[in-house]
Amino acid sequence: MDSLKSAEVGFCIRALREQFHLCVAIGRDLVRLLQDLVSVPEFRRLWEDLLIRPSDISRLYRRSTPAEYLLMGITPEMETRMRFLLSQVKTGSRRRYLEWFAGKFLRRPEQEAAAVDLVRLLRSDVVPRWMMVGWLLTACRKNYFAAGAKLALFYDWLFFDEVNDSIMNIEPAILLMVNSVPEYVELTQTLMEFLLLLVDHYDEGVEEGVVQSLDALSTCSLISPALRESFTRLIHGSNPAQAQAVD
């Protein structure tokens, strides 16, 4: 097993170092995955090398990751079952199917990372995506994977480009936070807090225009005043007059 892991790591490192111009096609999720692998010495050295080449990282950030790459994070059976759940299962039966899906694909320790990939991948015209994302967040029992799922949810916010990105990529997070009030206000507060922490750790910041529909959260009395104030500064930071109007 160790020899196989070593071979896989070696192959990935060679591909990224020698064929980086091809790897750029993977897009911004490549950066997210590399950050998850910094505990592996070979990937840590690669990441440190990338940090001194900000233009390469910027090229990745500007590219939205195509769905075919995101599909590689889940098994074909998982994809088939999820597509069936999204397109064929009616509302009244959905919870039973979700529990079955979680038991088969997400409950074992080695499976939990798949929830993160599903959050990135999820697309549906039948079931509101924000509902499915909310369920996937609750399926993450370990804090590490829960944080990864939240990052997956907000990742496109950080680098959103109105020309090259689709508004559908940021819609689930917006609707999940807004529609979770008042019944699941704790989830909304958790996501707001995570977004604020995320902005502090990414130089890119949240693009203007992405969160313009979130004023409802800035005025919700169920959310703590300090959190509302911080969130207001985030979404209207470049427009003090508008922030004052919300207050």
Mean pLDDT of the chain: 82
Tokens standing for residue 17: 């170092």
Question: Distance (Å, rounded) from C-alpha 98 to C-alpha 91?
Answer: 11
- The pLDDT tens digits of the residues spanning 210-228 come to 445 566 677 777 788 888 8
* Res. 238 pLDDT band, cuts 50 70 90: very low
Question: Distance (Å, rounded) from C-alpha 95 to C-alpha 112?
Answer: 19
Long-range contact pairs involving 78-82 (C-beta distance under 8 Å, separation at least 24): 78/105, 78/114, 78/118, 81/105, 82/118
Residue whose token pair is 């694909």: 105
Is the separation of the CB atoms in 115 and 139 below 8 Å?
A: yes
Half-sphere exposure of 171 (CA within 13 A, CB side): 14
Q: Please state the pTM of the whole predicted model.
A: 0.76
Residue whose token pair is 């999940």: 176
Q: Which of 122, 152, 112, 119 is nearest to 32 (CA)?
A: 152
Is the separation of the CB atoms in 30 and 60 below 8 Å?
A: yes
Phi, psi of 194 (to 5 degrees): -65, -40
If phi > 0 it is left, if psi is from -120 to 50 it is alpha, else beta; for residue 205 that is: left
In total, the chain counts a number of residues equal to 247
Tokens standing for residue 12: 């990935």
- The pLDDT tens digits of the residues spanning 103-151 come to 899 888 778 888 888 988 886 555 677 888 888 888 888 888 888 899 8
